[in-house]
């Protein structure tokens, strides 16, 4: 089981939109590093759902229900999508500010590669986030 973090601008696609749809095809990723991460995702992997730009906080948890397949919105068939379903909305969203202030997250991809839209999360980091999101 691996853990991930996926970013979305809430103006474009928010957590509420995601819940309303019940399922999401994560399309539009046009970055090679992000693509590699998507291709490494397995069914059942968990992903933190982050609101970039507006909010700048991790708002909930999603689960991979379908592994990578070609992105129907792309000209080039090498771009891929993954399907997610919502698992849980966090009672206490974890803000980027909190994460940056906490030494346990200093090596986190979210902090070090701020522009990466789909990044890995270490099991320890995932556990800490889950604690912050629920206490």
- Residue 129 tokens read as 């986030």
Nearest CA to 2 among 121, 116, 82? 121
Positions in 71-100 near DNA (CB under 7 A): 96-97, 100
Element at 4 (helix H, strand E): strand 3-8
Structure tokens belonging to residue 15: 């957590």
Stretch that binds DNA, among 41-49, 59-67, 80-88, 113-121 (CB under 7 A): 113-121
Q: 23, 42, 92, 115: which one contacts DNA (CB under 7 A)?
A: 115
Stretch in the footprint of DNA (CB under 7 A) among 19-27, 37-45, 111-119, 120-128: 111-119
Distance of alpha carbon 124 from alpha carbon 130, whole angstroms: 10
Contact 63, 126 (CB under 8 A): no
Q: Give the contact letters, 3-42, x = binds to DNA (CB under 7 A), - = no.
A: ----x-x--------------------xxxx---------
Residues numbered 54-73 forming contacts with DNA, rule: CB under 7 A: 56
- Please answer whether residues 132 and 98 qualify as being in contact, where contact means their C-beta atoms are separated by less than 8 angstroms: yes
Q: Report d(CA 99, CA 63) in Å as an integer.
A: 22
Between 22 and 75, name the residue whose CB sits nearer to DNA.
Answer: 75
Interacting residue ranges for DNA, rule: CB under 7 A: 7, 9, 30-33, 52-53, 56, 96-97, 100, 112-115, 117
């Amino acid at each position: 089981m691996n853990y991930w973090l996926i970013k979305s601008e809430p103006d474009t696609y928010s957590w509420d939109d995601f819940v309303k749809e019940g399922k999401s095809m994560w399309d539009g990723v046009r970055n090679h590093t992000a693509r590699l991460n998507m291709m490494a995702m397995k069914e059942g992997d968990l992903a933190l759902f982050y609101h970039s730009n507006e909010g700048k906080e991790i708002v909930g948890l999603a689960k991979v229900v379908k592994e990578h397949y070609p992105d129907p919105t792309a000209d080039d068939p090498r771009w891929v999508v993954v399907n997610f379903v919502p698992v849980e909305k966090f009672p206490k969203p974890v803000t980027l500010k909190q994460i940056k202030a906490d030494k346990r997250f200093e090596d986190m991809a979210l902090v070090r590669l701020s522009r990466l839209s789909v990044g890995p999360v270490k099991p320890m980091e995932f556990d800490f986030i889950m604690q912050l999101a629920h206490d």
